[in-house]
Structure 1
Amino acid sequence: MMVLTVLIITFFLPKQPRFRYEFQKGKVWLNKDLVSPFSFAILKTNPQVTTDKQDALENVLPIYRYSPELYTAVEEAYSNEFDVKWRGNAFPEEEKIPNKIASLKLLKSIYEKGIIAVNPKHQKGRKYYDISLLNNNISKTISTQDAFTVQTALDYFNTTFTSTKVKEKEVVMNLVEDHLQPNIVFDEKLTAIVQNNTINSLSTTRGMVQKGELIIAKNNVIDDEVFQKLQSFKETYEAQTKTIGDSKLVYLGQILLVGFILSLLMVFLSMFRKDIFSDNRQLSLLLLIITMLLLALTWSIKLNLPSLYYIPFCIVPIIIRILFDTRLALYLHLLVILIAGFFVPNSFEFVFYQVTAGMVAIYSIRNLIKREQLLLSALFILTAYFICFVGIALLRDGSFQEIEWMNFVPFIISVLLSLLAYPLIYAFERVFGITSDVALIELTNTNNKLLRELAFKAPGTFQHSLQVANLAEAAIFKIGGNSLLVRAGALYHDIGKIENPQYFIENQNTTLSPHDKLPYEQSAQIIIKHVHKGIEITRRHQLPESVIDFIRTHHGNTRVDYFYQSFLKNSPEKFVDENIFRYPGPIPFSKETGVLMLADSVEAASRSIKNPNAQNINDLVERIINYKLEQNQLDNCDLTLKDIETIKLIFKTMLMSIYHVRIDYLQNV
């Protein structure tokens, strides 16, 4: 699995050799004297290139195309309509021909000079502007003043055309207005081609550095000129090594580095988190998160994003902290940042930003109990980025005025993207079967469907589960552990009693018991069956395995002693198969499951105390817990003797509060 992850990550990573020097404008060059090993051109800065482009585009005139053939269609349409209008107005027939010829002659002269469609984009606040006029593939520069617009053409016609009769002139003017249309039109496509050709022909360099020439000496400050030389040297070096260098060896180097770092993760898990190391699902999740983030980095590099700080690196520690623990979150975050540091510019600066922000992310989310915690964490991360950003800027430039605040925008976007951790956590829980605190909070809501069913069908069991949850949660909170997990486990540990609740004493309302009519073996099997039923019900409702573990282990492999002893007492002559009366196990294997077993037994036994005073409760707790120890039920737990004593004290204190027992202080005087 790890090998596959290494191959996937390295397959997509950039394959060109990496420039060996890190440098920043205004910093001192601490490396040895840098002499150019080859000749290279000094690249212009981005602002210089932008200025050159703007100047070049200013000199490119918009191209307009003259269409002489348009007049032919206009002339024909005008002539036909002129005849119709003249007859329609019953003007003298002998005056038609002179007026028609005069108006057509004038109209032709207008079209020959040209009617332009003025483009406001080209005017730029000016009344007239120069254009490149294309006529029969011959271009010449003219001013828009040298051509008509539709309005100026109409005005010209009105002042030039003479007619003795006002009505006739009015008809002709209306007719001319309908047939005036631009025949000098902006050719946007051709203009764009010329502009692109002009931009492409611009030089992006300004001078040369010859082979053997000193670029910068040790301990010199990197000023603007030297910085541009170094930047040009870096780009030329990377371009040359990309074509000359052996990409297979680069690939091998990446495999060695990524493989070594992931091996460190495996060693860490095998030493400190054996539960994850031995669980393929959890291990797959960790490797998937690493792969996803590094692929996002690779994608960003290939797309040439303006800043790699857009990538939400802090999403890794947030997700790992919520799904696992603080130590693993920090360790995994450091490993991811170390790998990413090989492929980003200004590696130290990048690592500093991400490590500090990642630590803040981890510290700000101890437990994701409320949704606003994620928003607060995002705010803390943004604050950490801001402090680092301002601090590094002041360290570099020594002035607030020199800080380029727009460079902080990628950090803001990154923090916003880190909020995707919330839906991703939900998805990972579902796919990989991992339980977060958010899921546990939802499970411990007593209004959810399954717990409401338990409260309705087995109210005694429900009340017992609530008391067990309170006892176990208080104990695990004191000795250290996942209090949310133990509470969820306690609420569901007896969920199997939904089936046949009347067979369990806490749900019986009369002195008559259905067990009175059953053989002891059958009664024992009914009691034991609630474990199997509980597992079946919770799996049907898709509860996490970490909660189902409490159902499996809350009785361990102990016997149902009441029915076992009753069988021995009433049938001493019969052979007894002890396994019939024994729970299948396994025994508890964590602090949480161990504490639940003790809380369950103590709470159930406390209900049988006829006189619940301090002494009786003390004796009960001691007897129950010592019995579990004697039965080796806690052998696989992480509970220490000190933990056991703490648990006893908490149980005694809480049970005395539940039964309203007051200590008789006079006896101790």
Structure 2
Amino acid sequence: YEPYYTIDESVEKNAMAEFDADVNLNTKLSSLSPDYVLYLRNSLQKIYRSGIMRSEDYDKVFSSETQSMRLRKGNLAESKSVETFSTIKSAYEQLLDNTPKSMDAELIRLADVNKYIRENIVYDASTSEKAREEFIQQVSPSTGMVQTGQRIIDQGEIVNSQTYQVLNSLKRVTEERSGRTGKNGWMIFGQLLLVVLLFGAFYAYLLFFRPHEYRNRKHVTFMVLLVTSFVALTAITSQLDLFNVYIIPYAIVTILIRTFIDSRTALFASLITIILSSLMVPFPFEFIVIQIAVAMVSVFMLKELSERYQLIRSSFFILIAYSLMYIGLVMHQEGNINKIDPIIFIYFFINFIFILFSYSLVYLIEKSFGFISGVSLIELSNINKPLLKELSEKAPGTFQHSLQVSNLGMAAAVKIGANASLIRTGALYHDIGKMMNPAFFTENQSPGMNPHAGLPFEESARIIINHVRDGVKIAQKNNLPKQITDFIETHHGTSMPKYFYISWKNANPGKEINEDLFRYPGPNPFSKETAIMMMADAVEAASRSLPEYNEESIQNLVDSLIDSQVAEGYFKLAPITFRDIAAIKEVFLQKLQTIYHTRIAYPTLDKPQTQPESV
């Protein structure tokens, strides 16, 4: 079959008429010498004689089996190869490429000749449709077709060529539907190429859009292992026909990566898993449509996994998504509700049960790959945990300070879109090192008690600074996650306990000071959460020393402390903006005003006056 096209001769006439007119009116053409104009005119006529097609028509014919078409002139139609025609783009390139060496190609390009090149080969829809119908009528529709329930061959019958063709077709269709089609070398190579390209796309996504995750080998290993495990499980299931693939809970990929990384990465990884798995399953189109819809529902319904009910709710929505997508596909493809297979819903329900059990995988993955989930953060922030109870008993002032810092940090994190749960938990543990020497910190001292009296300033500074190192040791001893230990290490950064540093300088004028004795080990904050922690810790501690609490004094305190931290470069490694810092200041001001608001004085009850007795 070859489609029909006609020549629209009016296109060439109009284009050449415009060209001749512009030779006198358009400066781009009129400025050219006559030999340039003659070359352009002859080239345009030659192009129109060969024919110019729409690029879409050209590609369609070129991709056909014959790569040819029929050009109709009047009642005659001539078969022509599509390669003898041009598109607007190829015609213009041909005109430029054929420019004589004696002419300047740049002048030809500046003449804007492409606006005179238009399609003059037009698709003849009516003639093509008639030819298509005649072609189809010549093909027997019954060859190789078998009706439902029709007997193909009986026992003892001789297999002729037609029966063999039907049986061979049945074998091929059965293998395709079961996903066990025999593969030759090129098919295997094609599948390997697709696997490499899809994983390459995933690595490219991490490199350009999640560079922090790309540099974290444990996180990349976790995601690749998760995707590979489900693809391998799909391959084994399909090859050995162990069970229906819809029993496999692909949504777990989305849920786990959403819990530990983020939504976009979870959806991208799920797409990679689904596409790779579809190469091995029967009915891949239906599989892809259903699984992509379920992956999207998983991302939408599980913003964070901090409580068990969130997973249960998401699992129910996933079950509903599976069921509705299956019903919709059957209705779309079959047009008959009776074609729905009730067994599929049993598979969906088993899938639902498996997703519920994914909650137990969270702890295992945390320990294996160094993640921390919302579930663990809530458990760690329970003030009845032994370590926090010990802090409240040994250093009650520090414990109250940690609670206030936690509240300030959470409010600031919510405001700028940081992880509020992480900073809440980190703030509760950031000063656990003070349990080693609680009396040396002002919040734990009674009136008139000062253990620093009589100690050299260097020794006092060493005790204060060591609460960071002691806190890290306690955290490691109690197996606190690395993410919580980061708050302990960074909440002072590489700053100094300025009280003792300045006191030493005042007591030793003219002497050179060893600043390493008065500097915290660091490092400086490197995330939004640790940066907020450093600000909240300094502001909360300093706010206790204000002589009076009003909006102006609190505002001045917040501005001076945070501005000095910014000026000293403590937030250079943290991905935090000046807009974020301004928003954090505003939150701190509001919270501190609420904490230190003026309370009314309660009146005392006046005693009734006794009346003197009358004489």
TM-score (norm 2): 0.70
1:232 pairs with 2:184: no
In the TM superposition, residue 573 of structure 1 has moved relative to its aligned partner by 4.0
Aligned partners of 1:496 and 1:530 also within 8 Å: yes
Give the Cα–Cα distance (whole angstroms) in 2 for the partners of residues 208 and 371 of structure 1: 64
Q: 1:210 maps to what in 2?
A: 162
Q: 2:347 maps to what in 1?
A: 410
- Gapped regions of structure 1 (runs ≥ 5): 1-31, 53-201, 216-227, 664-669
Question: 301, 307, 312: which one pairs with 2:249?
Answer: 312
In the TM superposition, residue 510 of structure 1 has moved relative to its aligned partner by 2.9
Give the Cα–Cα distance (whole angstroms) in 2 for the partners of residues 526 and 381 of structure 1: 55
For residues 23-67 of structure 1, give each alpha carbon's deviation from its aligned partner in whole angstroms, at most 9, with x where no partner exists.
xxxxxxxxx99x99xx9998998x999xx9xxxxxxxxxxxxxxx
Q: Return closer, same or farther for 1:352/1:609 CA change in 2, 3 Å cut-off.
A: same
For CA contacts below 8 A with separation 6 or more, give which structure has more relative contact order: 1
AA aligned opposite 1:548: T
AA aligned opposite 1:526: I
- Gapped regions of structure 2 (runs ≥ 5): 1-135, 601-615
In the TM superposition, residue 553 of structure 1 has moved relative to its aligned partner by 0.9
Give the Cα–Cα distance (whole angstroms) in 2 for the partners of residues 205 and 520 of structure 1: 107
In the TM superposition, residue 259 of structure 1 has moved relative to its aligned partner by 1.6
Q: 2:436 maps to what in 1?
A: 499
AA aligned opposite 2:173: K
1:654 pairs with 2:591: yes
Q: 1:109 maps to what in 2?
A: none
In the TM superposition, residue 605 of structure 1 has moved relative to its aligned partner by 0.2
Question: Could you say what secondary structure the match of 2:337 adopts?
Answer: coil
Question: Could you say what secondary structure the match of 2:340 adopts?
Answer: coil
Question: 432, 449, 453: which one pairs with 1:516?
Answer: 453
Give the Cα–Cα distance (whole angstroms) in 1 for the partners of residues 580 and 551 of structure 2: 21
Matches for 1:455-604 after TM superposition, within 5 Å: 455-604=392-541
Give the Cα–Cα distance (whole angstroms) in 1 for the partners of residues 598 and 491 of structure 2: 28
% identical aligned pairs: 39
Q: 2:239 maps to what in 1?
A: 302
Give the Cα–Cα distance (whole angstroms) in 1 for the partners of residues 183 and 480 of structure 2: 57
Q: Return closer, same or farther for 1:402/1:576 CA change in 2, 3 Å cut-off.
A: same
Give the Cα–Cα distance (whole angstroms) in 1 for the partners of residues 380 and 349 of structure 2: 34
Question: 307, 321, 326: which one pairs with 1:384?
Answer: 321
Q: Return closer, same or farther for 1:509/1:48 CA change in 2, 3 Å cut-off.
A: farther
In the TM superposition, residue 528 of structure 1 has moved relative to its aligned partner by 0.9
Give the Cα–Cα distance (whole angstroms) in 2 for the partners of residues 511 and 342 of structure 1: 77
Aligned partners of 2:172 and 2:181 also within 8 Å: no
1:282 pairs with 2:216: no
Aligned partners of 2:144 and 2:169 also within 8 Å: no
Give the Cα–Cα distance (whole angstroms) in 1 for the partners of residues 175 and 417 of structure 2: 58
Aligned partners of 1:40 and 1:233 also within 8 Å: no
CA RMSD of aligned residues (A): 3.2
AA aligned opposite 1:210: Q
Matches for 1:113-132 after TM superposition, within 5 Å: none
Question: Could you say what secondary structure the match of 2:397 adopts?
Answer: helix
TM-score (norm 1): 0.64
Q: 1:399 maps to what in 2?
A: 336
Give the Cα–Cα distance (whole angstroms) in 1 for the partners of residues 496 and 520 of structure 2: 6
Q: Return closer, same or farther for 1:40/1:529 CA change in 2, 3 Å cut-off.
A: farther
Q: Return closer, same or farther for 1:203/1:634 CA change in 2, 3 Å cut-off.
A: farther
Give the Cα–Cα distance (whole angstroms) in 1 for the partners of residues 398 and 438 of structure 2: 8
Q: Return closer, same or farther for 1:205/1:507 CA change in 2, 3 Å cut-off.
A: farther
Q: 1:453 maps to what in 2?
A: 390
In the TM superposition, residue 369 of structure 1 has moved relative to its aligned partner by 2.2
For residues 253-282 of structure 1, give each alpha carbon's deviation from its aligned partner in whole angstroms, at most 9, with x where no partner exists.
333221211111111111122221111111
AA aligned opposite 1:422: Y
Q: Return closer, same or farther for 1:244/1:291 CA change in 2, 3 Å cut-off.
A: closer
AA aligned opposite 2:461: A
Q: Return closer, same or farther for 1:41/1:260 CA change in 2, 3 Å cut-off.
A: same
Question: 422, 435, 438: which one pairs with 2:359?
Answer: 422
Q: 1:66 maps to what in 2?
A: none
Q: Return closer, same or farther for 1:404/1:510 CA change in 2, 3 Å cut-off.
A: same
Aligned residues: 461
Q: 1:25 maps to what in 2?
A: none
In the TM superposition, residue 301 of structure 1 has moved relative to its aligned partner by 1.5
Q: Return closer, same or farther for 1:584/1:341 CA change in 2, 3 Å cut-off.
A: same
Query: Once structures 1 and 2 are overlaid, which stretch shifts more, 471-480 or 391-400?
Result: 391-400
Question: Could you say what secondary structure the match of 2:339 adopts?
Answer: coil
Give the Cα–Cα distance (whole angstroms) in 2 for the partners of residues 449 and 614 of structure 1: 38
Aligned partners of 1:40 and 1:209 also within 8 Å: no
For residues 440-486 of structure 1, give each alpha carbon's deviation from its aligned partner in whole angstroms, at most 9, with x where no partner exists.
11111111111111111111000000000000000110110110001
Question: 170, 184, 187: which one pairs with 1:245?
Answer: 184
